[in-house]
Amino acid sequence: MELEAGSCWLPAAGLGLLAAGFFLLPAGLELALGLLLLTLCLQRLLAAPLLILRAPHQVGYIPEPGISKRRAANEVRRRRKKGELPPVYPNGWYRVLDSQQLQPGQVKNITIFVPEFAKIKTWPTCELNCAVFVWFHCDDIDPSWSIPEQEEIQSGEWVYRGRTEHFVNCHIQEIPENAADIAHLSHLHAPSMLSGSDLRSTRASHWGFAQHDWKVEWNTESEPNKHCSRMLVNHAFYIFGRRFPLLDVHVVCRQVGPGIVYMLFNHSFLGRGIILHCVAPVEPLLQRVTHSIYYQANIPAIIPKFVLKAECIQFERDVMIWNNKKYISKPLLVKEDSAIARHRRWYTQFYSQNSPRFTAQLDSLDW
């Protein structure tokens, strides 16, 4: 299901005028009013935030003919070889929802860390960057680090332009590890975003004349920010082998703990903004992943909405892999994959002796 929020509407008064026009107004005035309302409607539609919500079975599964996506997804999950998994719930801060999704005094049920914590407990929480976060530690230890404020979001200089939400059927560590898997970029993410997210057709499509190029570097940060790492991305776009420097984009992706990434965009004329990429385990092998975009208020909304849509397409290519792969605890890595080994070492800091491990009982029922 794809919802594009802020659907087009016509004010009741406007409808009245338009209706009256059929009977009373001269044809020219009637046309002008119609055009005015159409323009207002279009303006509102373009400015409304983009909202893309995907159901758990919707992305990254390939059903056999005659089988529904839901059934195909459940069969893949049942047959899945789990591998030797790390603990399933790392210690850290996790986003539960955006502030705007919770009105003052409102109560909402949130599913997270099922079913390990079906008991009454107090969760350390905080609200910043227009979102609400909870702290999870398997030994109930208080937060050892805090979530950095993004000043431009807090001050309102950057405004909300949309959100995507996906459910990914994999271990949580697989998702950030993507940043250190440099080699996969040219396979999965080089085909133009126009060729979509179905990996069976991205390379075969007639959009082959357009290609993305990614140059990436991944490194950890040192004390007192050893819970952070950075991926520096330089993106270039080629059409018929010719580079278009105006489409070069520089992105700094700062991972803060196991579940939050700040993706900072800086473009020469498309302006600055951020995608907050957040991962939270719903179940041991089911992750809720959200991307919320905030962008310079003076840049037309269509630009950040396009950026978010492009990110969504590229992300869904990864989902197709994550949903179907097996976690290999000791993979054969070549020299070019050295960042994966470094990433795994870095990520171990989020596990401790009592971190819950996967058991069949913790797995869920069918979707």
* Interacting residue ranges for Fe ion, rule: CB under 5 A: 178, 318
Q: Which amino acid is at 30?
A: E
Residue 305 CB, nearest approach to Fe ion (Å): 21
The two beta strands, 228-239 and 210-220, are antiparallel
- Give whichever of 178 and 197 is closer to Fe ion, judged by the CB atom: 178
Residue 179 CB, nearest approach to Fe ion (Å): 8
A 10 A CB-CB count for 322 gives 22
A 10 A CB-CB count for 313 gives 16
The residue at minimum Cβ distance from Fe ion is 318
Structure tokens at 128: 């910043």
- Give whichever of 178 and 211 is closer to Fe ion, judged by the CB atom: 178
Residue 22 CB, nearest approach to Fe ion (Å): 54
Q: Is 294 within 8 Å of 277 (Cβ atoms)?
A: no
CA 85 to chain centre: 23
Residue 177 CB, nearest approach to Fe ion (Å): 10
- Give whichever of 152 and 316 is closer to Fe ion, judged by the CB atom: 316
Residue 60 CB, nearest approach to Fe ion (Å): 12
- Give whichever of 17 and 180 is closer to Fe ion, judged by the CB atom: 180
Cβ-Cβ contacts under 8 Å for 130 (sequence gap 6 or more): 98, 99, 100, 153, 160, 292, 294
Q: For residues 22 and 126, what is the distance between their CA atoms, to the nearest angstrom?
A: 56
- Give whichever of 311 and 318 is closer to Fe ion, judged by the CB atom: 318
- Give whichever of 70 and 342 is closer to Fe ion, judged by the CB atom: 342
Q: For residues 117 and 223, what is the distance between their CA atoms, to the nearest angstrom?
A: 31
Q: For residues 111 and 283, what is the distance between their CA atoms, to the nearest angstrom?
A: 9
Residue 317 CB, nearest approach to Fe ion (Å): 7
In a 10 Å sphere around its CB, with 0-12 CB exposed, 13-18 middle and 19+ buried, how is residue 65 labelled? exposed
Q: For residues 324 and 328, what is the distance between their CA atoms, to the nearest angstrom?
A: 13
- Give whichever of 50 and 253 is closer to Fe ion, judged by the CB atom: 253
Helix (H, G, I), strand (E, B) or coil at 216: strand
Residue 170 CB, nearest approach to Fe ion (Å): 13
DSSP states of 249-266 as a string? Answer: EEEEEEEETTTEEEEEEE
Residue 29 CB, nearest approach to Fe ion (Å): 54
- Give whichever of 316 and 318 is closer to Fe ion, judged by the CB atom: 318
- 3-state helix, strand, coil split of the chain in percent (to 5) is 30, 25, 45
